[in-house]
Homo-oligomer: A and B are copies of this chain.
């Protein structure tokens, strides 16, 4: 039986993000003392056999193959939408209409139209809170970078430089669903670009007003067609040796995407998201230069923040690598985990976000904003501006994209 301080959770989706979120629900209350503890109530997914195994492994109390049943359950207080992008709108709106809080995976939606109706639903459901899983905001170094901006340590910001570089999209990778526009919406832009657009907005405390120079490139125009199961195997094993030449199909998403942008506060920016940056496994990186200071963050060294203090004695200035693992020194989240110098890993960002989600639902303050649907809609508009800029080969003002 649920304690009064419990928050019943329904999880929709059981793949990569289902796993990452389950881990968060399982562990959050071990490390954080929260006003409201999540209870792993219902997991919903299409395949009943897979779902049962998933739920058993992670400790979900019940399962259903009908997500509407999960959303409607009176014990559920929070619906976690971890399904593919094109399902976000229906599921989130149903949950909001049922009076549930919603935590939706990023990007907010597969299309700007979907995003807009989700935003409207969120505005109507006044008692419900919405959250979007931009997990990198809760990497301690990233949250700490924002704190520095908030404290005025960077001063006026001149430059923002964002890249999200991966390299798994070479010609040997088959035509996975991620390369089919109908299923995936977009390629590198939605998958990777959404993260760095959000991160740039989050850390700078500023908004993008113009996008220009966008190029969305499909370098590998044809890929080997494989049925779903085989494609997974091929993907995992890096292709292996094939006896006969495979049948090829067209890839219809961007392998890579670059653009420049301008922020309201005047900063100018470059963005690059790519699956073809040979040598970079998960190179989510952002650099911000202000008049008084500058920060650099790369997810491959997620426990570090590089910081340059332009106000120190000139001869002693340098890029400083802060080990962002010292809770007693004010580094966010890490005080709940291990002693200084004992770094966190990928999944901790989700746990940290969940802790703040629980606090926010309980009406408590959180140390840095969690993106709600209105916030994530701004990111979605920037993504749309990128698409338009690439299409029209010209600058696009955000005010024109709604």
Contacts and interface: CB of A to CB of B under 8 A. Distances in A.
A320 to B, nearest CB: 4
Interface residues of A, number: 100
B159 A274 contact: yes
B272 A290 contact: no
Given A158-B274, A219-B158, A300 B323 contact: yes
Contacts of A328: 236-238, 314
Contacts of A270: 258, 260, 270, 272
Contact of A318 (B167, B170, B315, B321): B321
Copies of this chain, whole number: 4
Interface string A137-178: 000000010000000000010110101001110110000000
* Chain A interface, >50% SS class: mixed
Interface in A228-278: 236-238, 255-256, 258-260, 262, 266, 268-270, 272, 274, 276-278
Nearest to A302: B343
A57 B27 CA distance: 10
A340 B282 contact: yes
Interface of A: 16, 20, 22-23, 26-27, 29-30, 57-58, 144, 156, 158-159, 161, 163, 166-168, 170-171, 212-215, 217, 219, 236-238, 255-256, 258-260, 262, 266, 268-270, 272, 274, 276-283, 289-294, 299-303, 305-310, 313-323, 325-326, 328-331, 337-348, 389, 393-395
